[in-house]
Amino acid sequence: MSALPFLLLIGAVCAGYILNRVAAKSIRDRGDRLHSMTSYHGLFSALLILVPVLTFILFWLMLQGPVIDRLVMAGLPDGALGERGAGATQLVLAEIKSLSRGQVFGSPEEWKVAAASHLSQLHQRADWLLIVAVAALSLLLMGLARARVSADFRARQGVEGIVSGLMVFCSVVAIFTTIGIIVSLSYETLRFLKHVPLSEFLFGMNWEPQIPLREDQIAAAGAFGWLPVFLGTMVITVVALVVAVPVGLFSAIYLNEFAPRRLRAVVKPVLEILAGVPTVVYGFFAILVVAPAIRSLGQSFGLDVAPNTALAAGGVMGIMLIPFISSFADDALSAVPRTLRDGALGLGATRGEMMTTVLFPAALPGIVGGVLLAVSRAIGETMIVVMAAGLIAKLTINPLDSVTTVTVQIVTLLIGDTSFDNPKTLAAFALGMMLFLVTLMINIIALRIVRKYREAYD
Amino acid sequence: MNDMRKIERDVKMTDTKITARGVNVHYGDTHAIKDVDVDIADKTVTAFIGPSGCGKSTFLRCLNRMNDTIDICRVQGDIRLDGQDIYDKRVDPVQLRAKVGMVFQKPNPFPKSIYDNIAYGPRIHGLARSKADLDVIVEKSLRRGAIWDEVKDRLDQPGTGLSGGQQQRLCIARAIATEPEVLLMDEPCSALDPIATAQVEELIDELRRDYSVVVVTHSMQQAARVSQNTAFFHLGHLVEFNVTDQIFTNPQDSRTESYITGRIG
């Protein structure tokens, strides 16, 4: 039943295509010279039907539920709801809905049964109305498109116009989503800042996101200074980069310049498989293998090592970033023109000299751009640190200590039964906002560097 | 006629710098160079001419083992520089390339300053003992590359900012800076306009005093203008090799005649 409008639409689109194409063909067969090819006439009709009708169906399906709910509730007998609050009204509606699906619990009141049958009646009517509307709209548009067919109708320009409109829409979607994210984050962040002053959040040295459960509870006021959390993120990011940058870079240099072709053909895909490993799996690896190994190794040297160290989480995150950096560096090195390699070799440079003195400097901006993108990935990475890093915010830069990160705190603050009106929960949004700003800044820098790099040679 | 005899005598007086015997080159399954024998004289400009894809560039790249950098390329035969087999196992291609410099079709200055471009070779080969030494080498090379006056005030600016003709002369100066004995030029003027071409050609003629120069070119006029000896390649064969004037006025092979009169190529 719900697929029927879509089938109807597909049918109308095909019919419109064929109709206009045949019409255009018959004009051509009469000996007139068409401005556009016949297939463009067909496509014009198809698109003219597809876009508005599809939009119409989607909007209808989105609005159908709420509108019918509103109608049903309005149609209830006077006084049935009485003085109930909003929550209770929701419950009544849910009960009516399950009645209409045939799920009867106990013996419902008479007016609820009536409302349930009213509901299913409305739904049925709405479905039919939609089908009729789709058919009418399709026919109307088909007729409109058909009326346009003539020897000098510019169907190609029409199609190009519609398609470029669609492309504009698609590119705008991403922008508007970003704006939406910023707006919702800022809204919640502002609510958080009503409870906690901005200066405490930005410069506070303590992070203890607790709130009193009772009015009279002592010693649970909570502290919301993000510095220790952010420092934890930075420690783990630095550890990750210390692992990922040299390994990724050297593997890229080796694969790009020194590796025999056969080895490259094997190693490069394998390296890229690493990029496809889910981060949860890296998390397991970190807690089950790396963290215990670091702990026992450190203890054998007599060091005090926490069970979930920044070193373990950061190290495993670094492994995750290796393929990222290596493929970026490889692309940057491959983009250096062959003539520069030849130039250096032709002057009697060894491959190593060519790499360090010509290729690498020329590719450096691209490599730096890749590294910065890796930084923003490391900062935003969640799963590995949730599993392998600690929960307690400590103001430390010792990688053998347990630290927590911004993402871990966001997850822990939002897990479980939470209400969205206390500073503890809202703090998650403020942290998210900061994370967003930091990665945004890094991405902007990275993009600038990458853009500059495009002008480096040629 | 008198002129021609003079050049002939010139050539006979000079020594042979490079001898190639029975050179064959394969790219994968393609047989690119077939049994080429050639003698390249010292202090002379030798031109390789022929239609596109005839193997002249490939053969040129054999002379400093640049073909080694291409995985699928195999070189067979005997190529000697001053009597020393350059494909001998004991020869280091890196040192060979310092001795046999190369200039490429497309100007390829490094994205570094003009100074650093010239100083590149001397630095990697340790030719300068001090900064002052290096300054001297850079100035000398830029003068020999006939570009000193144009760049002397902006040595610290990137070489990529120069015009195409200046870039190519910069690349020639860069090749000279390593003190090579032979200079290989792979269509050095094909990316340049006529004025820049004239400047580079003049430079090539200058360079003949100190180096053995080998120029690959598409332009027969250019070969006639700058070279003393000319080799005509066709489909991987060395068809004819002779004094330039002989090739252009009295070709021995019918294919050479067809090419220089414009019937093939």
At a CB cut-off of 8 Å and minimum separation 6, what does A114 contact? Answer: none
Question: Would you give the distance in Å from CA B257 to the centre of its chain?
Answer: 24
Where in chain B are the domains? Answer: 2-260
Query: Which of B251, B242, B244 lies closest to B223, judged by CA?
Result: B244
| Residue range A22-59, pLDDT digits in tens | 999 999 888 888 888 889 999 999 999 999 999 999 99
What's the angle, vertex CA A143, arms to CA A137 and CA A144, rounded to 5?
90
| Residue range B64-110, pLDDT digits in tens | 999 888 888 899 999 999 989 999 888 898 889 999 999 998 899 99
Query: Which of A440, A446, A448 lies closest to A369, judged by CA?
Result: A446
Task: Give the per-residue pLDDT at B1.
Answer: 43
- Distance, in Å, from the CA atom of B142 to the CA atom of B137, rounded to the nearest integer, reads 8
For A145, A160, B96, B214, the CA distances from A153, given in Å and listed in that order, are 11, 14, 69, 63
What is the value of ipTM here, to two decimals? 0.85
How do beta strands B45-49 and B229-234 pair?
parallel
- CATH 3.90.1860.10 is right for the domain spanning A223-454: no
C-alpha distance from A297 to closest chain B C-alpha (Å): 44
Task: Give the per-residue pLDDT at B9.
Answer: 44
Helix (H, G, I), strand (E, B) or coil at B74: strand
B2-260 has which CATH code?
3.40.50.300
Task: Give the per-residue pLDDT at A43.
Answer: 93
Contact A362 B110 (CB under 8 A): yes
At a CB cut-off of 8 Å and minimum separation 6, what does A395 contact? Answer: A205, A227, A228, A231
**CATH 1.10.3720.10 spans which residues of chain A?**
223-454
Residue among B100, B112, B120 with most chain A CBs within 10 A, to mutate? B120
- Distance, in Å, from the CA atom of A339 to the CA atom of A195, rounded to the nearest integer, reads 62
Q: Are B79 and B20 in contact (CB under 8 A)?
A: yes
**Residue A275's pLDDT band (cuts 50, 70, 90):** confident
Residues belonging to chain B with any Cβ–Cβ distance to chain A shorter than 8 Å: 64, 66, 69, 71, 94-99, 101-104, 106, 108-112, 120-121, 124-125, 160, 171, 174-175, 178
Model confidence at A447: pLDDT above 90: no
Among all chains, which residue has been given the structure tokens 């790249």? B61
Contact B121 A457 (CB under 8 A): no
Q: Give me the residue from A348, A357, A362 closest to B125, CB to CB.
A: A348
Extract the tokens encoding B195: 């004025």
pLDDT by residue for chain B (265 residues), tens only, comes to 444 444 444 545 568 899 999 999 999 889 999 999 999 999 999 999 988 888 899 999 999 999 888 888 899 999 999 989 999 888 898 889 999 999 998 899 998 899 999 999 999 998 888 999 999 999 999 998 889 999 999 999 988 889 988 999 999 999 999 989 999 999 998 888 888 889 889 989 988 988 899 999 988 889 999 999 999 999 999 999 999 999 999 999 999 998 888 876 5
Query: Which of B32, B50, B16, B112 lies closest to B251, judged by CA?
Result: B50
Strands ordered across the beta sheet of B212-216:
B100-103, B182-186, B212-216, B45-49, B229-234, B237-243
8-state DSSP, B159? G
Extract the tokens encoding B191: 């990316």
Which phi-psi region, left, alpha or beta, contains residue B179 (left: φ > 0; alpha: ψ -120 to 50)?
left
Q: CA quadruple A408, A412, A414, A416: dihedral positive or negative? A: positive
Segments of B44-146 assigned E as strands: 45-49, 73-81, 84-85, 100-103
User: B215: which strand partners?
Assistant: B47, B185
Q: Give me the residue from A261, A346, A362 closest to B71, CB to CB.
A: A261
**Residue A260's pLDDT band (cuts 50, 70, 90):** confident
Contact A349 B94 (CB under 8 A): yes
H/E stretch holding B4 reads helix B2-13
Contact A362 B111 (CB under 8 A): yes
Contact B108 A350 (CB under 8 A): no
For A290, B112, B225, the CA distances from B105, given in Å and listed in that order, are 54, 20, 19
Question: Would you give the distance in Å from CA A82 to the centre of its chain?
Answer: 44
